[in-house]
Structure formats: structure tokens, C-alpha cells
Amino acid sequence: MERIEHHACFGGRQEVWRHASSSLGCDMNVGVYLPPAALQGQRCGVLYWLSGLSCTEQNFITKAGAQQHAARHGLIVVAPDTSPRDEAGRLGVADDPCYDLGMGAGFYVDASEAPWSAHYRMQSYVAQELPDWVEAHFPATEARGICGHSMGGHGALMTALRHPGRYRSVSAFAPIVAPSQVPWGRKAFTAYLGAQADRWRAWDAVELIAGATERLPLLVDQGADDPFLAEQLRPQLLREACAAAGHALQLRVHAGYDHSYYFVASFLGEHFEHHARGLG
Amino acid sequence: MERIEHHACFGGRQEVWRHASSSLGCDMNVGVYLPPAALQGQRCGVLYWLSGLSCTEQNFITKAGAQQHAARHGLIVVAPDTSPRDEAGRLGVADDPCYDLGMGAGFYVDASEAPWSAHYRMQSYVAQELPDWVEAHFPATEARGICGHSMGGHGALMTALRHPGRYRSVSAFAPIVAPSQVPWGRKAFTAYLGAQADRWRAWDAVELIAGATERLPLLVDQGADDPFLAEQLRPQLLREACAAAGHALQLRVHAGYDHSYYFVASFLGEHFEHHARGLG
């Protein structure tokens, strides 16, 4: 593992690390923010951030304004890249020319179908390998929260629902709540998981809510002027699933806000408060 | 003029406008943040932000986290591009393949030398045309502050010193305080203003301090681990010039911080407090 960037920021340090991922069979870049408390020797809880389509580890760490909140609450923030990468084409990582499949579009699942299954194992990476790596190499406790945006909002909700006991808090911005029912998700799941839609249920937050054995309260923010709202995001499906299952959901729809990091930044402080409560 | 982007952000709206500049002979992109107070019909003071080498209007508006502070203090923030632009090559705007001359490197001067003098009139643009345009088209008062980073820090200090009475507050992050004495400035000034160094004095903050007829207090933040500190920035020259002239300067050197927007974001809130005091 190698530290490829480091910048003092709000009294802590924003770092970017490159490490070899066994789940993905490639090197991965990960943003790690260490708050002042961590630099002073305290062990800190960790908030995992999963980014959206076409993002790398850079988008969130440069645009969201997260560091001020992490510094204030004493949380480490870990923001990985969104898929296996192989820009030089040496590793045989499958790709697709579209922005919504292949590199930059891992959808946080473990692919079962060729050619994707060889490398696209983002669920194993974010839910197991990455926390193991973080907790081995940084001053982290085992208190974990998870949050994300759009495809990463899907990733955060679905990953927490699949792993009861592993996270203490979960939230999302403009998540793809029901990938099985919307074009982005159907395209990616058909490629990664195969055309049989019954295999998709285990990777879809709206499908997982009914049978959840842990009911962490969900905080979800959504912009009312998000251009993807009606076709790709459909938060009403999450509202209905949570109501049917008795799963606590705070879904806030904000007039005028779109899908950008200007929206994420505006409400990220409140998500940190939510996670800081969960992580103690 | 045309609004080419708009995003709700912290209760206000981050916009990007394109307008025809007569000073520069080209269209210019300008970031304009309207705080909630402005959207509610109040006239607000304006903070002008001048960016550094290679930046467009995008860097500051996406990376600095300025909107939260502007919203809190009720300030409009105006962030123009850093030079005339002509990416399509239709207007005959001179350029240079290096990042530190030509497009993206206007240095906020009015060039006197061919081929630059035809379009590179950034001082006329930022000090006169842009405020006139802002005050004609947005709910702005005539209370103006000016701030910037690196080349834009030079721009902010120098522009305020050249125009007594035009600004109520001034500050800078990692400014090029003495362009006449450092490689970046000497290269740009030789090209834009000619090789006779006596012509450079009117565009150099350290040279202007002695004869200033208005003594707005200067707030300057500098990272101690900035890789450009010793060769290009040299804040000690500003400290000495201010001491000799009795010009108030708060120069803060921050251990561990570099030249990036991670540094700017960390201290930008305090600059907004400085400007909010100045702008009333």
C-alpha cells in the first residue's frame, strides 16, 4: 500500500491511498480523512462513503466539504473508488463504453456473470476487505457507518441491509432505492447478475427491507429538481417498503435541489450528525 | 448574457453565467452565488474571488465550500474565469502552451505588449467591467470585498491597492505578493508588460504598499508546507513592506498546510468573517 496524496485539512489530514485489493484483483484508490482526534492518537469511528456513477475516489473528497464535519465529530471518512480499475488495460478488467456499466459503475455488487465476475466484486470489497484494511492500518474502532450518493446511495442502503450488525448507522443522498425496477439498475444487474430477475432481490434495498433482521433507521435526502428522480431514483418505493415493514425512514425531499454535489454539500452536515449519534 | 448553470446550494443558488466582455473581447464565464437573503429580495454585499493559475470559474465554486459561508453572512460571491478564453481559436486570443502564461494565467493585469494587449485586460475586467455588470444585473449593493488564491491572491491585493475606495475589505490565500521578484511573475510581466521592470511596479502589491493612499487591513493565510512558498510566494516580502509603511497585515502561516483547495477550504470561513465585517 502506498500513500499517493496527503493534504492538511481542517486540522486533520486528507489522504489518498492505493492498495492491492484481493477481492477485485487490481489496485484501488481510497480517500481516507483522518480527523484531528485521530492524529492526536485517539481511535475513531469510521464513516464509509460510496460515490455515484462515473466517480472516482476524488469527487467526494474534493467537492462535498466533508472534512469540516469529520473534524468536528472526530470521524474517519473512507471514500473508495466506484469499481475495479485497469486504465492501462493490463489486467483484463472488463469495461463498457457507457458511463453506467463497467469502470466507474460497479454498483457495489459481486458479479456472477462473465466477463464481469472476474473483477467486479465491489460488495466483497466495500463490506469486508475495505473495513478489514482500514481497521488494520488506521486508528479506527469497529464502529462503522455507511453513506453514499445515487449509485452509492443504493450501495449504502443495500450493503447495510445485507450485513446486520456490521454498521451502526446508514444514510443516503438521492439513492437508487430499487435498482431492479429502474433503467440504470436493470442494465447493470442484467450484465453483472444475469437476466433472471429473482437473482436481483438480494442486491436491492426495496426488496431487502421486508426481510431485514436489523432495523437501523434510514436518513435519505432527495432533491425535488433532481433530473433522475422520476425514472431512476423513485424514493416513494422506499417509503412504501419501509411503511409496510415498519422500518424507520426519514425521507426529506428538498424543493429546488438537483443531483449534484451542491445538493450533497448542503445537507452533509446533518448526515454527519446522524452518523455521529449512531457511532457514539 | 446567459445563465449556463444553476444549482440550489445552502438555501441559495450557485449560478454560472456567460457574458460578453468588452474589456476582453470574448465571452467570459462567471460563477455567481446568490445567498438566501438575495433570493428573498435583499440587496447584498459582494465578495469577488480571483482564482489561481490554470483555474477556470469552476475550481473555486466546486472545491472551496464557500456557499455555506456566503449563505450565513448574506454575501453574493462572484468568481470569474482567470483570463480571456478562446478555446475554439476563432477570436485570435493569444496563448502559450505553458500553464503559467496565456489562457488560465491572466495575472489580472492590463497587457501593454503584443500579442497579449488585444485581449489580456483582466484588470479592467475585474476592477471595473465585472462589478458594473454584477451591480446592474444582480441584487448587489456597492459594498465590495476582494479575495483570491495564489495568482488570484496577487490579483486581490494588487487590485485593492490600485483602487482606493472601491473595496471595503481584502484578503488572500498564498498570494504571489511580489510578482516582480519571482519566476512566475517575472515571466508573465515580461510578456504582458514588457521587459522594463519599472513598468511592473504598478502591478505588484509589495511595490504598491509604500504609496498606498488607503490602508485596508490585509488578512493573508499561507501554508508552511506550500511547495511554492520559498520561490514564488515569499510572504516575508509583504510583511516587510507592510511594516515599513505602517500597513496593517495579519499574516498567518499554518504548519502542515499546502497550496491546495484543502488549505483554502480550511480557513475560508475566517476570511468570510473578515469580509462580512468590512462589508457591514
Q: Do B266 and A223 touch (CB under 8 A)?
A: no
List residues in chain A touching B: CB distance below 8 A: 7-11, 13-14, 62-63, 65, 67-68, 223, 225, 254-258, 260-263, 265-266
Task: Mention every residue, 6+ apart, whose C-beta is less than 8 A from residue B136.
Answer: none
**What confidence tens digit (pLDDT) does each residue in B222-277 have?**
999 999 999 999 999 999 999 999 999 999 999 999 999 999 999 999 999 999 99
On average, the pLDDT of chain B sits at 98
DSSP secondary structure of A202-255: GG-HHHHHTT-S--PPEEEEEETT-TTIIIII-HHHHHHHHHHHT--EEEEEET
**What confidence tens digit (pLDDT) does each residue in A2-56 have?**
999 999 999 999 999 999 999 999 999 999 999 999 999 999 999 999 999 999 9
Secondary element (H or E) of residue B76: strand B76-80
Of A14, A67, A266, the CB nearest to B9: A266
Asked if residue B3 lies in contact with residue B17, where contact means CB atoms within 8 angstroms, the answer is yes
- Residue A170: what pLDDT? 98
Give the torsion through C-alpha atoms of B42, B135, B151, B225, to 10 deg.
0
Exposed/middle/buried for A227, CB within 10 Å: 0-12, 13-18, 19+? exposed
**What confidence tens digit (pLDDT) does each residue in B212-228 have?**
999 999 999 999 999 99
B246-259 burial code (b ≥16 CB/10 A, e <16): ebebebeebebbbb
Q: B7 to chain A nearest CA, in Å?
A: 7
**What confidence tens digit (pLDDT) does each residue in A176-214 have?**
999 999 999 999 999 999 999 999 999 999 999 999 999
For strand B140-149 and strand B169-173, is the pairing parallel, antiparallel, or unpaired?
parallel
- Report the residue of B5, B67, B226, B262 to disrupt the A interface, i.e. the one with the largest count of A CBs within 10 Å: B262
Task: Mention every residue, 6+ apart, whose C-beta is less than 8 A from residue B186.
Answer: B179, B180
- Residue A181: what pLDDT? 98
Residue of chain A with shortest Cα separation from B6: A258
Say if residue A280's pLDDT is above 90: no
DSSP secondary structure of B147-209: EEETHHHHHHHHHHHHSTTT-SEEEEES----GGGSHHHHHHHHHHH-S-GGGTGGG-HHHHH
Q: Do B14 and A262 touch (CB under 8 A)?
A: yes
- Residue B179: what pLDDT? 98
Exposed/middle/buried for B233, CB within 10 Å: 0-12, 13-18, 19+? buried
Q: Which of B124, B177, B168 is nearest to B148 (CA)?
A: B177
* Rg of chain B on CA atoms, in Å: 17
Percentage of residues of chain A with pLDDT beyond 70:
100
DSSP secondary structure of B227-275: TTIIIII-HHHHHHHHHHHT--EEEEEETT--SSHHHHHHHHHHHHHHH
φ and ψ at residue A260, rounded to 5 degrees: -85, 175
Q: What is the mean pLDDT of residues B16-42?
A: 98
Report the amino acid identity of residue A206: V
Q: Do A223 and B11 touch (CB under 8 A)?
A: no
* Predicted ipTM of the assembly: 0.97
Task: Mention every residue, 6+ apart, whose C-beta is less than 8 A from residue A87.
Answer: A103
List residues in chain B touching A: CB distance below 8 A: 7-11, 13-14, 62-63, 65, 67-68, 223, 225, 254, 256-258, 260-263, 265-266
On average, the pLDDT of chain A sits at 98
Q: Do A254 and B8 touch (CB under 8 A)?
A: yes
Asked if residue B65 lies in contact with residue A68, where contact means CB atoms within 8 angstroms, the answer is yes
Q: Do A258 and B8 touch (CB under 8 A)?
A: yes
Q: What is the mean pLDDT of residues B140-157?
A: 98
3-class secondary-structure state, position A15: strand
Residue length, chain B? 280
Q: Residue A120 is placed in which grid cell?
A: 467486479
The band of A116, judged by pLDDT with boundaries at 50, 70 and 90, is very high
- Residue B87: what pLDDT? 86
- Taking contacts as CB-CB distances below 8 angstroms, the residues of chain A near B225 are 8
Q: Which of B133, B256, B106, B109 is nearest to A6 (CA)?
A: B256
Q: Which of A59, A5, A80 is nearest to B260 (CA)?
A: A5
- Taking contacts as CB-CB distances below 8 angstroms, the residues of chain A near B272 are none
Q: Which of A225, A76, A73, A238 is nearest to A142 (CA)?
A: A76
Say if residue A87's pLDDT is above 90: no
| Catalytic annotation, pick one of B150, B169, B171, B180 | B150
**What confidence tens digit (pLDDT) does each residue in B113-123 have?**
999 999 999 99
**What confidence tens digit (pLDDT) does each residue in B161-205 have?**
999 999 999 999 999 999 999 999 999 999 999 999 999 999 999
The band of B100, judged by pLDDT with boundaries at 50, 70 and 90, is very high
Say if residue B280's pLDDT is above 90: no
**What confidence tens digit (pLDDT) does each residue in B45-74 have?**
999 999 999 999 999 999 999 999 999 999
Q: Which of B119, B266, B146 is nearest to B205 (CA)?
A: B146
Of B9, B13, B258, the CB nearest to A265: B9
* Rg of chain A on CA atoms, in Å: 17
